[in-house]
Structure 1
């Protein structure tokens, strides 16, 4: 019997590779998700909207053209044409541009964070489908062995070598194997649905996934954890939120200074028959509204962003520590099962099967060895699934891992 790791890469009965069968690899799945996922496309559009907001923030205030007519009689009419140009004082325009640029930086980080989330979800769903696919293969193999055992037991009963009870036990074992196969196929369909959701493109067609379950994640890629935390998308976004709030606070302080409006124009007096130039200045007097409330609000929201950064950092560190511990535990369990448990279980099953054919062991010994072998195979798959899930969670929390040197 080949190991479950090696068998994952082989052609299996349930997933027959025919001319029409389509397989899905991890690289193509990631490319599809990053190109087609609607959540990522929506985040990219939001970033482009932020670019427009930054462009708008740098626009100058428009002038105002006004006309005024006094008296409706042409002989005594006075007509005034005036151009009013407001000028922002106190650095409002620069502060507004800084706030827009900070918001744009946050939108850029949102795209990075969303990409990490989509990669994480895709990798978790892909490896979940790969594990479910391998479980289907194992259940089919168990069903095949159970059928062979039932046939062998029936022949021995007909030959009068064993009790008819053993044939009944073999039939029960075969029925249980068929039931397990039905459950495994149902789990596979559920895993495929999750993978299609993670792809973000329901039109992608595939019948099986191409996964090398022998390539397990590495704990070393996420260490040291303290340095990896600095690259966390969530922490970077929280830090950028502080920068944005600081820029908004500066903008509200700049708004304390009233704007200056310069007026230029001409006045035509029909009765006197002459034109007069008009020059004027206007300034709002900040006697009652000095923007105190908006400044207080912006300052408190800036303080809130600093507190939220501490909370986000603590949360990411705790979750990353837990995921890293889960990854290490799953890898250790998978290695123990692969190196020690599975070889012994295969040897015991082979020995019991041979002994049963020679009449040295009873059928219960064969069933027990068979059950032990497939339980060990299932545990190995579960350990691999936990390792992939923990690695995907670390990817979402910390961003891309550090490449390991071979």
Structure 2
């Protein structure tokens, strides 16, 4: 997304010569840098993203998951535990075994010899899980950045809509002055004066509504880094700076850079580690024990030793291996499905962005200038009695609609650009 750090400043412009000049001054002041940090606190997109990545609780969850995997890694690195076995026989029975004199006491130490490099397979599985967790965190961060960017653009557009609503109020007041002059001259009925006053009342409601919407959007933006109140007055950015497009094939080739695609490579490595661990289970562990046995009756001692080995372990483990292989193959298919879905998203964002830029440029360069001239001509003609009230109002409304469409198109172009950047993990060139 292309948003520079130009600073906005709100000033009173009601005394400008014409409503058209008032709007141009508002727009110009919203695009050029002015040093007003001593007056009001500004927010740029870079700071909004940095605060979100630092404070958003969605990313803090990964710290706990990382600690969990560290614990799992310590456990996986452990060798089999030793067991102390104590066994007593031939006591508390009948006859000569009714006492402890004929008892036999055995104390033995036992453990397991792991076969098939099970320990290294467990460690490799945890390492792959940690790599996958890092990729998942990158995906979450990228999604958050895209959401913050979209909300930032909405605030930026809302600021322009506030200016537009104030400009519409200026135009309505200018219209009332002209209509009142014609009414006093007897050229316009009183009904047109009342209609003009009603338009002013509606314009005032629109101004209030746009201010409320702006405050809500600012609060929604601040919520991304955990603030419950807005600590900034305005956001800085250029709503009409779109950058340059790459061709679609180049953008599609960059889809491989998307962490959501790369995550499948990490997930595939995780599944490979699970397969290796499952295969090691086909090698049965050998359980051994060694100890000392003492006979109370003869007061003699002897060594005892033994081992045990499960049979048919490979056959019993074949189902787990088959399941792990199927899960690995599914990851490969899921990756291709995701790439196809992302390609459709990219195509939609690419096409819509081009159309939005085309619309915005056409409105700025030709449509709006012509409508401004048409409004001036219509206003002069109305004052001279050559045009009626509806002609004058229609010309004014057409200009306001075009300016509103310009804001919508420009914000759409930036939002679609942010979606392209999220999909490709690359910034659009200037």
* Pair 1:58-2:77 in alignment: yes
Q: Among residues 344, 352, 374, which one is paired with 1:348 in the alignment?
A: 374
* Pair 1:260-2:289 in alignment: no
Q: Distance in 2 between matches of 1:52 and 1:391?
A: 41
Label 1:216 to 1:55 Cα distance change in 2 as closer, same or farther (>3 A): farther
Q: Which runs of 5+ in 1 are unaligned?
A: 12-16
More deviation in 110-119 or 125-134? 125-134
Question: Normalised by the size of structure 1, how large is the TM-score?
Answer: 0.88
Label 1:166 to 1:376 Cα distance change in 2 as closer, same or farther (>3 A): same
Label 1:90 to 1:205 Cα distance change in 2 as closer, same or farther (>3 A): same
Q: Distance in 1 between matches of 2:282 and 2:268?
A: 22
Q: Which digits, 9 at most, give the CA deviation of each residue in 1:132-187, with x for residues without a partner? A: 12101211121122123213321331233433343234224323423433443343
Label 1:287 to 1:216 Cα distance change in 2 as closer, same or farther (>3 A): closer
More deviation in 375-384 or 39-48? 39-48
Q: Distance in 2 between matches of 1:394 and 1:52?
A: 38
Does the 8 Å contact 1:113/1:234 carry over to 2? yes
SS at match of 2:257: coil
Question: Normalised by the size of structure 2, how large is the TM-score?
Answer: 0.83
Q: Which runs of 5+ in 2 are unaligned?
A: 1-20, 92-98
Does the 8 Å contact 1:36/1:201 carry over to 2? no
Q: Distance in 2 between matches of 1:287 and 1:45?
A: 36
Does the 8 Å contact 1:95/1:251 carry over to 2? yes
SS at match of 1:85: strand
For the aligned residue pairs, the C-alpha RMSD in angstroms reads 2.8
Does the 8 Å contact 1:87/1:260 carry over to 2? yes
Label 1:35 to 1:244 Cα distance change in 2 as closer, same or farther (>3 A): same
Q: CA deviation at 1:7?
A: 4.2
Aligned to 2:28: 6
* Pair 1:381-2:403 in alignment: no
More deviation in 167-176 or 367-376? 167-176
Q: Among residues 97, 114, 138, which one is paired with 2:123 in the alignment?
A: 97
Does the 8 Å contact 1:47/1:111 carry over to 2? no
Q: CA deviation at 1:115?
A: 0.4
Q: Distance in 2 between matches of 1:402 and 1:379?
A: 26
The count of aligned residue pairs is 399
What is the correspondence of 1:262-301 to structure 2 with a 5 Å cutoff? 262-286=288-312, 290-301=316-327
Does the 8 Å contact 1:128/1:385 carry over to 2? yes
